[in-house]
Chain A
Amino acid sequence: MPHLDDAYAFARWLTGNATDAEDVVQEACLRALNGIGAYAGGNARAWLLAIVRNTTFTWLARNRPKALVLTDDLEAAEGSAPAQDTTTPETDLIARADEALLQAAVAGLPTQYRETLVLREFNGLSYRDIADVTGVAVGTVMSRLARARALLIERIGKEMA
């Protein structure tokens, strides 16, 4: 079963929970099968991840309505605090961050930033593929990555200060 690890890792980050991720991935695989007629070439991994993403949001809306916060106004949602206002951590401080802190920092990102960052850093997708999976323009992928990374650096700076 190709791409299963990718699908699971992505669902794990989106749901934040191993059991939920299993349910989502199983459902997504069944949907992928039913959607075979809609597959029209291109990157099969990105195609499957797009299905995992859609399935996750449907699943969360049904089963974890409180956990699913999607907003069009991300800047407002995070209080639009520019990262420059806070002290920026030194490079070697970031390098010393441990797994638990990094995990928590990523898990704490707003959903849209998190999914973009995860597809890039943990699934290794190109900007083009991330844009296809998340249904936004490449420019939006770039600005979301920029914001996600700035937020992570800020968070690491706070936690390790």
Chain B
Amino acid sequence: MSDDPIDPRLTMQAALDGELDTAAQAAFERQLADDPELAADYARHRALQNALRTKISRAAAPAALRARLDALSSPAARKPAPPRVLRRDFMQMAAALAVGLGLGGGATLLALGPRNPDVVDALITAHRRALLSGTPVDIASNDRHNVRPWFDARIAISPPAPDLAAQGFPLIGGRVDVIGGAPAPTLVYRLGAHIVSVTALPASGPSLQTAGDAGFHALSWRAAGFTFCAVSDADRHELDGFVEAFKAAITNETGP
């Protein structure tokens, strides 16, 4: 996490868009209280955002366009699913598109950011397997002072394991997943009726994409020398809340 001083004008955008973590949001709110000019500017921005979102009616795709695209998918001859593991919403899109069109060579390559589907897939699979096995943890403990030494002893990696019980996310324990052929420490927290697996991967690896797959969400961020990835079947909003609390706790632990 970068703690460089950042242009307050930019912080204000992030505050408007809910992109600040809890600690930064609190700091921004203190700034607002102290600086009437900033507060006035923030109020103008809020009014603008509100006006844009409520007054501009959203253009829905015309029925004719939808019909044309649907027509491409009407023949019964469905293509077999692509061999790769694709995410469900994309599968639907692909199914709608793929049918009736000559697929094959000449793929249009598009310049997209780096992606790492295999790692995210592996993380989601590990989480699901843990759920199915009925024992999502190898060491069951709500005390992080037990969980960290346990990781350290087994795989010589000890990621931060913040205590989030006060925020409503008690630690359940830890387990070791194997991601990309290497052991990876995974912390397990409770989130309401769901559980969250937080895997710590070396920060030297590629960054991961946020993904949703068959009801599972994977959110990734970097902190304290790790690339963390949280996987859960909780809804996205709840998982976001958890991730924010986790980030804030690590920031507090490792110092500003």
* Main secondary structure on B side of the interface with A: helix
Q: A9 at the A/B interface (Cβ < 8 Å)?
A: yes
Q: A2 at the A/B interface (Cβ < 8 Å)?
A: yes
Q: B166 at the A/B interface (Cβ < 8 Å)?
A: no
Which single member of B48, B58, B94, B113 contacts A9 (CB below 8 Å)? B58
Which single member of A8, A34, A90 contacts B107 (CB below 8 Å)? A34
List chain A residues, Cβ under 8 A from B237. none
Q: How large is the interface on A (under 10, 10 to 19, 20 to 34, 35 or more residues)?
A: 35 or more
Which A-chain residue is minimally distant from B46 (CB atoms)?
A91
Which single member of A29, A40, A103, A121 contacts B69 (CB below 8 Å)? A29
Q: A54 at the A/B interface (Cβ < 8 Å)?
A: yes
- Among B21-29, B96-104, B170-178, which stretch is in contact with chain A? B96-104
- Bound state CA distance, A132 and B70, in angstroms? 28
Q: A152 at the A/B interface (Cβ < 8 Å)?
A: yes
Which single member of B51, B69, B109 contacts A38 (CB below 8 Å)? B109
**A18–chain B nearest beta-carbon distance, Å:** 7
Q: Decide if A146 touches B13 in the complex (CB within 8 Å).
A: yes
Q: Decide if B55 touches A1 in the complex (CB within 8 Å).
A: no
Q: Decide if A41 touches B209 in the complex (CB within 8 Å).
A: yes
Q: B153 at the A/B interface (Cβ < 8 Å)?
A: no
| CB contact list, A96-145 vs B, under 8 A | 97-99, 102-103, 106, 120-122, 126-129, 131-132, 135, 139, 142-143, 145
Which single member of A32, A40, A98 contacts B97 (CB below 8 Å)? A32
- Bound state CA distance, A149 and B43, in angstroms? 12
Quick one: CB contact mask for A32-48 with B, threshold 8 Å, 1 for yes?
11111111111111011
Given A2-B92, A30-B101, are A102 and B109 also a contact pair (CB < 8 Å)? Answer: no
Given A18-B62, A142-B14, A143-B10, are A39 and B51 also a contact pair (CB < 8 Å)? Answer: no
Q: Decide if B109 touches A36 in the complex (CB within 8 Å).
A: no
Which single member of A8, A26, A35, A126 contacts B110 (CB below 8 Å)? A35
List chain B residues, Cβ under 8 A from A51. 110
- Bound state CA distance, A161 and B96, in angstroms? 49
Q: B35 at the A/B interface (Cβ < 8 Å)?
A: no
- Bound state CA distance, A149 and B46, in angstroms? 10
Which A-chain residue is minimally distant from B64 (CB atoms)?
A22
**A93–chain B nearest beta-carbon distance, Å:** 8
List chain A residues, Cβ under 8 A from B89. 2-3, 44-45
Q: Decide if A40 touches B109 in the complex (CB within 8 Å).
A: no
In addition to A26-B69, A35-B110, 18 A-B residue pairs with Cβ atoms within 8 Å of each other are A2-B92, A25-B61, A26-B65, A35-B107, A39-B86, A41-B121, A43-B212, A48-B93, A51-B110, A90-B44, A91-B43, A91-B46, A98-B55, A99-B55, A121-B53, A129-B210, A146-B7, A153-B44
A-B contacts, 13 of them at CB < 8 A, read A34-B106, A34-B107, A35-B109, A38-B109, A41-B120, A43-B211, A47-B90, A99-B57, A122-B56, A127-B19, A135-B111, A142-B13, A152-B48
Interface residues of B (CB under 8 A from A): 7, 9-10, 12-14, 17, 19, 40-41, 43-53, 55-62, 64-66, 68-70, 73, 82, 86-87, 89-90, 92-94, 96-98, 101, 103, 106-113, 115-118, 120-121, 209-212
